[in-house]
Structure 1
Amino acid sequence: MKVFGVDIIRGSVRSRTERPVYALVVLEDGEVVATAQVNAFRLSRLIARDEPDLLATDSVQELAVDQHALVGFMQTLPTKTALVQVTGGERKETLQKVAGRYNILVEKTDPFAEAGAAARIAYLGGGAVVVAFEKTTEVTVSRHRSPGKGGWSQNRYVRKVHGAVRERAREVEGHLVAAGLRYEKSERLAYGGFSRVQFLVYAPRDEIPVRTYAGADVQVRVQGRRLDRIRYEPLSRRPRYLIVGIDPGTTTGIGAVSLEGEVVEIFSSRQMGPAEMIEHITSVGKPLIIASDVSPMPDTVEKVRRAFNAVAYVPPQDRSVEMKLDLTAGTGYANPHERDALSAALDAYRSYKNKFLNIARRVPPGYDLDEVRAGVLRGRSIEAVLTDLSGRQRPVRPEKKVVPPPEEPAGRDERDERIAHLDRTAKRLRAFVQELEEGIEEKDAEITRLKRQIRRERSGRSKAFQRDAEVAKRDAQIAALKKRLRKEEKRNKSLKKRIERMRRVEELQVGEGQAAVKALDSLTHDALRGLEADLGVGKEDVVAVRTTDGWGRSVVKDLAAMHVRAVAVPGDSLDGQDPHLVAEALAARLPLVPGGTVGLRLMGRIGTVEEERLAAALEAWAGRVEAHEREKKASMLNQVFKEYQTEREKEVRRRG
């Protein structure tokens, strides 16, 4: 495995004056093979040439100014190269703290030391991989040059470029089909072929059998589809070792700390059995030590310990409440159960702390201290653990095969010890399985009882739900009917008022020599609509207008269309009215009469006029209409005569 570790020496990606310079340390199979001081361009060239498995840094902000630039940088990386931030993902730690877990000392002021530490941590599986792309890839085949503005041979040149795009797209599609990849294709037709062909391949970028290419006429661009937000995934899926304290009971408390004594988890819940405890602890990490705050260890805690094959810890004597409070001060527990569980874990850590420090002093740099501590606590020597880790972390180069002698092979004792250890583990697991099977029978009976209870509850609840649904349906119907009733009552009230006003109009018409009048505030659409709503306006009705200011032609036409008998306007004569209004009424054949000459009397929306005087006014209006018609005909004849005279003059002038 080849790993590049980088750390910035000077400059910054954000600076426009001083570009960044990096310290580069190259690790191959765990050994430093090269160091160099490079700029960003040289670093990209080396990555493209050597294609390392991992590119490790303590902060991706040293490589890109923002997420957009980081995605652009990752597009340039070889498909097999993963970018690793060794200080973690969303929640970062210092490089020195992370390096301490691998017993690596880092000098803050030495960029090459930090680059080497980052490379070694990534090689050992530490840190988080930066993930910026989906599991789909876009492969785009397009022109590498513009057709230009024209010329004698432009058509032939365009055909050549577009034909080259089509041929290259066919080659790419052939590679995708041969690799058995699923894809979608979109083409943009152009003269002589295609100007652009895009493939959406449902596979990650490292599985695409096509590489980015730029030729004279055609270019191929392979890009992973970027995620909406960059995420971080652990480089190693191995769970971290923990010291877990458990306080069983009606409310179970669980407290977990790392092998450095940092609090990792505080949790409590009611009615937790061994299976639920095991599931929750597994979601947090891998317990190396299971601790209890009382001696001897309770049976429930012992079952959990045997399930993980963890080291047991019980205090020499029961701890007092004062000691538990002192151990857990400032940890933020929520109840006494969490306090007791966390105090057991911290007490176990305090008991093993000196041993952990001694192991750290004896382990050379470059090994996972947690793995070494776990092996030593399980009874192995430091040398055996280091040998095992060396075999895992540094692949041995193939050597000349040596035939072993016929005597007893070396390492027989170690194999026998391993077999005996596995036998003991198998016995413990068989006993634990038997206990679990007995517990399963009890749980099955409990489940059967609870299912019966659930069926009874569900049946009663179903009936209640049906009743509630029917009640809600009836309530909705009642509300709708009430709303409809209020609407009808309002309409009924309005109609009663209208009937009362119409009755008053009828009473006015009963009088000798009188005619009823309906009053209109003004000659506007709003006033006319209001009168229609209150009293109605029909044929042979007499309408009185209080004011003619703001009159409109469309209102005059509407009244004429209603065939009203007459419209009474203010004043004693029509000569004082707007001549345009009189002309419009004559054109629409709407009778206008002066209110003063017909004896108009108004009382709110209704009134009366004298029938005889109204008839006389209508006769006068009829005379005005006849005079208007005569004038109109005379005007038409005069116009025809003038047109004839004009045409004759033109004809005489043409003939000379």
Structure 2
Amino acid sequence: MILGVDLARRSKCGRSYAVVVLNETRGTVERFPSISRFRLIRMIKRLKPEIVATDNIYELGNDKGRGDGSLAEFLRELPSRTKLVQVTGGVRRQPLNRLAKRLRITFNRFNPLDEANACALLARDGVGDEVLFFRDKTQIKVSRARSLGKGGWSQKRYGRRVHAAVKERTEEIKDILRESGLKYELSVKKGFGGYVSAIFLVDAKRDDIHISSGRSGDVQVKVSPLERERIEFVQQRNPPRRRYIIVGIDPGTTTGVAILDLNGNLIELSSSRTRTPAELIETIAEAGRPLIVASDVKPVPSGVDKIKRAFNAILHEPQESLAVDIKIALTKSFEYRNDHERDALAAALDAYNSHKAKFKQIEKKTPPGVDVDEVKARVLRGSKIDAAISSLLTDKRVDKPVSDRVEEEKVDEKVVELRSDLKSAYERIDLLKKYIEELELKIRDKEMEIEDLRAEIRMILSHERQMALRSKELKRRDSEIKRLKRVIWELKEENKMLLSRIEHLKSVRKQEMRGERLPLKVIDSFNRNAIMRSMEEYGIRKGDILLFKDASGGGESTVRMLGEIGIKAVVYLGEMSHMAADAFIELGIPAFRADELSIKMSDEIAVVDAKLFEMKMEEWRKEYGLLMKKQRERWVEELVDQYRMERERENR
């Protein structure tokens, strides 16, 4: 089963798609002029097709991230055995109309249903590149199922129990992976009494791991395949072509069917009173690809015409209905059980005989290594013999695998970007407000805890006065008092630090609201681990400005990871590698040295003068524009040179 999909309409409410469901086994075609993205995903999950084919995968979702409505989210929803194929190629793009013309498929390019049908037919014949999104590795994350709460008398005991449960479940998964013979890497985050979390990286696909996601008690397990950093393409392997056949049909209460190959050999001859049209289509599809569907009478019965349309075959209609003596003469060398089988066989033989001379001519002219039946099929569909042979030879050269990848073109929609930036700014403001509220709640909680500790101290002192005669107990109480005083001192110091940070955040926020300063997110070093750690601690989002304390160590892959996030700019200390600097230029991300800007930094918070930053950004945009202009000029010159070389080659 193959689903051909094409974008039908794009609106504020979402996208709708034209879908063609091609069932090769049953020989049926279903058409849906307009369905929503949600219904499309639900249809794919229900039908579980072998292939979902489209001419542009970015019509199935945007590439602006990995949230709802994105292409990545669509790929996650696909069944594990379903392949997504871009028939126009991802390794080397080709126009849909050119590919369809090569395989003699006609369609109206302004009709989404026609384009969806063309995509399905091309994918069926092995045209296009398969989309690769998941790696052959799986992540298993074991963690707490709930938060430990704000504290209390039993918090530490409860934390030990939860951490011990996480560790126990981690050991169980270790045993399962060892028994299955699967290799893995394990990283754990230790906690008091056990593990806070554990992450397995298993060298196997998700379907090969017999561990399911779920939650049990205080522990949750999440199993998910690892995604590639970027979508890749691999050439689809051409499926073995089914042989072309000639089908003769005698419809009626008893339906007779005769199937010949293109050499006139009988493949199947049968008749039945109980066979439904769907079963007849399935029988024919199992025998091969119908090139000609024939009838022994004129005009052709509607039942024969339906079979012809189901397979997009050529209809053979005799000049006049075949007489009984002609049918007997045609079928005298074959055995048949009844008149229905005789009539169906006579129709197929009459169709074969009408093209027999042309078939012999094709067999003589076709060189070794070229599919003779394919040449016959193309000639019957309107091609010249030499053109059909030349086309097949060209297809062999074109179908060779190509390793070069073409970067997907992206449309710069200024309005959408501005709205997205505004939304990101509001989200950052809300995030800072929530962060301040959380800090204030923590301060109140600490004050309540201090008061509880003071009350506990008073109770202990009162109790000690009553038990003064017991020296051993008195020493123990004195020790407890010292410990509690130390805790109080630590809490006071922490309270002072939090108050200082709050004041600093308020000052930074005021400057940001006045447009005087811009916040920078500080990262210790320019490498993947440091970036991932910062994303977990306080998040890195689209439009952020990052400050790297140490710019050495980063490479091209690290820069591309930042490009996928969509950061606004990078400020760095130290020396940055040439590969990283070139990658920033390639992705259009400004990278400034820290000494070029007026940066003020405190702990993990840094700010930059807004006017100076915008001035530097404007300078960078001008330089970047000149660079892009030079690259475009160079590209045009190369294109002109290539065109001239091709013209010279043609003139020769």
Q: TM-score, normalised by structure 1?
A: 0.34
Q: TM-score, normalised by structure 2?
A: 0.34
